[in-house]
Amino acid sequence: MSREEYMRVVLEEVERYDEDRAGLIMTLDRTKGPEIWQECLEIALKLKKEGRRLLGVDLAGDPLKSDVSIFQSFFSKAQEAGLGITLHIAETTANTDEETLKLLSYRPDRLGHATFLNEEAVKIVMKENTCIEICLSSNLLCKTVSDLETHHIRQYLNCDHPIAICTDDALPFRTTLLAEYALLLAAPPYGLGLSQDEVRKVAEMSLQSRFKVLKGTP
């Protein structure tokens, strides 16, 4: 099965559901090479042009692989086609500030994790009002945060900055979206201890940060 055939099979399943419930984001894996990235981008652009529910492009994979400057042209073409852009960024302390600033210069719509942004990067994110994809269980299990009390979600909650609650990868992290929201409500130290109104506000921010809303996907 080719990559395009695989994507079409996945989309057939995604499109069984209402647009408000399911959409597809194609990931460019940092561990692959330019030929594969180009193939994936061409597939994404083709599916978008056909009106399929391909809403965005992501950058993920081993956070220490590849020079991210290579990806500028890929994301520029995706943006020109009306696709949303989300980038896994500053996932580890080994990711350099220079890399983070380069990724932010691509003007992404959303940022995955963004765990170790420096002060300059945070100012840019705040100015651009870029949504942060928060994955509580993933961060705890991968030990990129020590506990929920010191999790960077609190920084964004305190200033009403847009966040979206996500699962990262539901199977290996043994979680669901409902379970992640339960962590928002649970009392410390097992959760953040947010009120129902606060959680409702977070859910609304997540909804408004969908690529469908950002890019006006039909």
How far is the C-alpha of 28 from the C-alpha of 52, rounded, in Å? 19
- Exposure class string for 99-128: b at 16+ Cβ within 10 A, else e: bbebbbebebbbbbbbbbbeeebbeebeee
Enter the CATH code of domain 3-215. Answer: 3.20.20.140
Please give the pLDDT value at position 47.
Answer: 97
**Full pLDDT tens readout for the chain, 218 residues:** 999 999 999 999 999 999 888 999 999 999 999 999 999 999 999 999 999 999 999 999 999 999 999 999 999 999 999 999 999 999 999 999 999 999 999 999 999 999 999 999 999 999 999 999 999 999 999 999 999 999 999 999 999 999 999 999 999 999 999 999 999 999 999 999 999 999 999 999 999 999 973 444 44
How far is the C-alpha of 69 from the C-alpha of 188, rounded, in Å? 41
Selecting among 4, 12, 91, 99, the annotated active-site residue is 91
Task: Please name which of 96, 133, 130, 136 lies closest in space to residue 116, comparing C-alpha atoms.
Answer: 96
* DSSP-based three-state secondary structure for 184: helix
Task: Please name which of 175, 162, 147, 154 lies closest in space to residue 202, comparing C-alpha atoms.
Answer: 162
91 is catalytic: yes
How far is the C-alpha of 186 from the C-alpha of 184, rounded, in Å? 6
